[in-house]
Amino acid sequence: MRAMILESVGQPLQCRSIARPRPGPGQVLVKVAACGVCRTDLHVVDGDLTQPRLPIIPGHEIVGRVEAIGAGVEGLTLGDRVGIPWLGHTCGRCSFCLSQQENLCDAPLFTGYQIDGGYAQYTVAEAAYCFPLPASYADAAAAPLLCAGLIGYRALRMTGDAKRLGIYGFGAAAHILAQVAQFEGRSLYAFTRPGDCRAQAFARRLGCVWTGGSDARPDTDLDAAIIFAPVGELVPLALATVRKGGTVVLGGIHMSEIPAMPYRLLWGERTIRSVANLTRDDAREFLAIAGRTPIRTQIVPYALRDANTALRDLREGQLTGAAVLVPDHTS
Ligand SMILES: [Zn+2]
Ligand SMILES: [Zn+2]
C-alpha cells in the first residue's frame, strides 16, 4: 500500500510503498476513504510532541471501511464504515481508566503518533476504538468530526451553560463547534488573527454574532472562551474578556509559553483549564449529536501524496475549514 510516513522529526513526510498491515487479535484492517489533517499532526511533524514512535504514519481523523477482522472482534462486520480518532488504546487498569477519565490514561497510545494512522491507503486499529458514523455524512465530510469535532465538543462541554462564548482561532474545530453551539442556543464571538478578514468572514457566515481580531474586545463580557490557536499570549487576552466566574478552556494539545500576567485577570473565580484527548463516551455522544444536528463540515480535499502541501497550507493559515486527504485506490 502507499503511505505518507514521518521518518524523522522536522522533515517532510515521505511517500513510500509498504506492506499492507494485518489485524492482530482485537483489531481490524480498515481501507481508508478519507483522513483529516489536524493541527496536532503539525505538532507531531515539528517535534512539539516529544513521544512519537518513528517511523510513523500520521493521521487521526480516519474514515474507512472494515476490510479484514482479527480474532476476537465482536460487533463489526466486513464493509462497515467506521471512524478512528486520536485515542487508539488505553490500559484499562490505571486510576484514570477506572474512574471514567480514560482520556488521562497513564499508558495510552494515540493514532498517528504511536499507532500508524490514516495518511495511507489502509490502517489497522483496535476495534474497541472504532466508531460507527452517522450515515448522513459523506466520507470526507465525516473526517473532521473525528478530532476537530470531538475535541471541540469536549471543550464546549467544559464551558458549562455559557451563553456568550468566545472562540480564539477560527479553524477546523471552531467551524464545527460553532454549529453545535448555535444549535444549543449560544451566541458566538469569534477572535481571529488581527486583520484576518477571510477568517472573520468565514466566522460570520457560520452565524457568529461578533468577529474581530484577538486584540479587540466585544462590548459585553463573555461567559466563557475557548482557545484553539496554539498561542499562549491569547490566555491573558481571553481572561480579560470573560466575566467573573467565567472559564477559559484551552483546546489545543500544544501551546507556546503563557506570559506572566496580573493576578486581577484571574481574580473573581475565573478558571483556566485544558482539554486533553477524548474518551470513547465523548465520541459516542458527539457522533450521535452530529447525526441529529446536522453539521456542515467545510472541507478542502487533497490527494494522499499531497499531504505535505496540506500540512503547509494548515501551518500558513491558508485554509477556511478542514483539510482532508482522500487516497486513490485505483492505482
Ligand atoms: Zn489507563
Ligand atoms: Zn486532532
**Helix (H, G, I), strand (E, B), or coil: what is residue 85?**
coil
Considering every ligand atom shown, identify the ligand nearest to the alpha carbon of residue 150 and give its number.
Answer: 2
Give distance in angstroms: CA of 24 to centre of ligand 1. Answer: 21
Look at residue 317 in the predicted model and tell me its pLDDT: 85
Q: Closest-lying ligand to the alpha carbon of 85?
A: 2
Q: Amino acid letter at 46?
A: D
Closest ligand relative to 154 C-alpha: 2
Rg (CA), the chain: 19
**pLDDT score at 331:** 67
Statement: residue 251 has pLDDT above 70? yes
Predicted confidence at residue 321, as pLDDT, reads: 82
261-312: per-residue pLDDT in tens? 999 999 999 999 999 999 999 999 999 999 998 899 999 999 999 999 999 9
- Ligand 2 center–CA 313 separation, angstroms: 16
Question: What pLDDT digit, counting tens, does each position of 124-183 carry?
Answer: 999 999 999 999 999 999 999 999 999 999 999 999 999 999 999 988 899 999 999 999
3-class SS of residue 114:
coil
Ligand having the closest approach to the CA of 39? 2
CB atoms within 10 A of CB 136: 13
Distance 60 CA to ligand 2 centre (A): 6
Residue 185 confidence (pLDDT) above 80: yes
E strand residue ranges, 129-284 = 131-132, 164-168, 187-192, 210-213, 222-227, 242-250, 271-274
Q: Which three cell numbers stand for residue 29?
A: 484492517
Query: Whole-angstrom Cα distance, residue 251 to residue 54?
Result: 26
- Of 109, 73, 74, residue with least CA distance to 91: 109
Percentage of the chain exceeding pLDDT 70? 100
For residue 254, give the ligand nearest its CA.
Answer: 2
- How much is the pLDDT for 319? 86
Ligand nearest to the CA of 87: 2
How many whole angstroms from 52 Cα to the centroid of ligand 1? Answer: 19
User: Could you tell me the CA-to-CA distances from 143 to 148, 271, 285, 306 in Å, in that order?
Assistant: 9, 32, 16, 17
> What's the CA-to-centroid distance between 110 and ligand 1, angstroms?
13
